[in-house]
Amino acid sequence: MTVCVLGAGAGGLAAARHLKAGDIAFEVVERERDVGGLWDASLPHSPVYHSTHFISSKPLTEFPDYPMPKEYPDYPNHAQGLDYLRSYARAYALYDDIRFDRVVERAERVDGGGWRVTFRDGGSTVYSALVVASGIHWVPSTPDIPGTFDGESIHSCEYKAPEVFRNKRVLVVGAGNSGCDIAVEAGQHAERTFLSVRRGYHYIPKYAFGRPIDQVGELSLKLRLPLFIRRPLDELLLKAVVGRPEQFGLPRPDHKLLESHPIVNSQILLALGQGDVLPKPDVVQLEGRQVRFKDGTVEAIDLIVYATGYQVSFPFLDARHLHETNGRPDFYLHVFHPTYDDLFIIGLIMPDSGVWPLMDLQAKAVAHSIRAGRDGAAGMRRLRTLKAGPRPDLSGGITYVMSERHWCEVEHSSYGRRLQRVIRLLGR
């Protein structure tokens, strides 16, 4: 029987590479005509905009066994990321194993194990296992704000280029990484730009001491410095390099450093400091062509950009197969189904670093699990016990802010070690 991998983005390609290395029969089904997933900015539903760059640097973005080209900059852009993924697919001869233009409508579990996948063209195929690598950045999430807005409103996934801002008063709602990027661009092209920030965050520059900031942070992780030492050092560094967010009109962070998903941007504070972007608190009311904010101020707005994240959605799977808790999939290490040995998810994480190296470990662990189940390896019995038991803490000792965006947040270093332990367990 053949394993089905859903999606030929970064996670699906990593799965294909490790399944092939494990001599496991598989095929990848992809709705588009080439690999790359969301990094193909030419796709109308891609959330990538023209100026998108990675916020993790090259060594912490690339797959461990396939380095990015030396000529790539510290922070590659989206086109370089797409070229890299396609080069990866060619290097491991994955194209022949991908079925393009195949849109999945349903995946239903077969009695006795396995999955029947039904496609939009009416055809269906039964597979021995299902690896879901379709991504978590496809279904936009927008806030429910009282009132009506008579101007134009878009989600950040619809934004592509700054021409839409010209001669407009623009409001960007949400100060995550996309929100900050878009606000900076709007500040350079719009008549007036406002950034609505619901809570205070820590803003991290892309460079410190002439090196990418994540590479500087990796030094303390490699030394295994405990959190109570690492955090004060990082806070001291940020105060020296950036200052305090309050100096730029932003709210004071209501949590400690590392307790929220990192906002890595070297330009947003400059844009605020020189008045290109004006900070605003939370939006409380839409009033025709005006927007009322929590502090009572009102601004005339032509365009609202909601940079408010995405909903995790796997519409082709019935909720009963996702072992949901509070409406969200509850898998061991966000990868392994608690009871099924033939259903896996790759990419259901929000790490504080590059996600591709962790996807590679997830894919390797999945391939080991499938092979161990096929061969009756003793380690598979231990994994069944682990994945059916209580969920381990994936925060590395960090207490994350209680919000929707942090439910699948992981501390990348300790999370990677957990995956490596699973791989060693199954390897035995």
- Domain ranges within the chain, ordered by starting residue: 3-139+310-427, 142-205+242-306
Average pLDDT rounded to a whole number, residues 370-382: 93
Report how far residue 116's alpha carbon sits from residue 126's, in angstroms, rounded to the nearest whole number.
4
Report how far residue 148's alpha carbon sits from residue 283's, in angstroms, rounded to the nearest whole number.
12
Q: Which residues of 393-422 are buried (b: 16+ CB within 10 A; e: fewer)?
A: ebbbebebbeeebbbbbbbbbbbbebbeeb
Q: Which tokens hold the place of 255? A: 């949590």
The answer to whether 263 and 180 have CB atoms below 8 angstroms apart is yes
Chain centroid offset of residue 47 CA: 11
Question: What average pLDDT does the structure give for the chain?
Answer: 95
Average pLDDT rounded to a whole number, residues 347-353: 95
Report how far residue 90's alpha carbon sits from residue 225's, in angstroms, rounded to the nearest whole number.
40
Q: Which tokens hold the place of 315? A: 């519409």
| pLDDT attached to residue 325 | 82
| pLDDT attached to residue 302 | 98
pLDDT digit string, tens, across residues 1-37: 899 999 999 999 999 999 999 999 999 999 999 999 9
| pLDDT attached to residue 428 | 62
Percent of the chain with pLDDT over 90: 88
Dihedral (Cα; 420, 80, 174, 267), 10-degree rounding: 110
pLDDT class of 328 with cuts at 50, 70, 90: confident
Q: Closest Cα to residue 343, out of 107, 91, 57? A: 107
Q: Which segment of 86-90, 254-258, 270-274, 418-422 scores lowest on mean pLDDT?
A: 254-258
| pLDDT attached to residue 262 | 87
Give the containing element (helix H, strand E) for 118.
strand 115-119
DSSP 125: E
- Token pair 């929590």 is at which residue? 294
pLDDT class of 309 with cuts at 50, 70, 90: very high
pTM reported for the whole predicted model: 0.95
Q: Closest Cα to residue 146, out of 284, 300, 282, 294? A: 284
Q: Closest Cα to residue 299, out of 159, 413, 190, 409? A: 190
The CB-side HSE value for 237 (13 A sphere, CA atoms) comes to 19
- Token pair 């598979």 is at which residue? 380
- Checking if the pLDDT of 221 tops 70, the result is yes
> What's the CATH number of domain 3-139+310-427, 1.25.40.10, 3.90.79.10, 3.50.50.60, 2.40.50.220?
3.50.50.60
Same CATH fold, 142-205+242-306 and 3-139+310-427? yes
Report how far residue 40's alpha carbon sits from residue 187's, in angstroms, rounded to the nearest whole number.
26
pLDDT digit string, tens, across residues 195-217: 999 999 999 999 999 999 999 99
The reply to whether CATH 3.40.50.2000 applies to domain 142-205+242-306 is no
pLDDT class of 70 with cuts at 50, 70, 90: very high
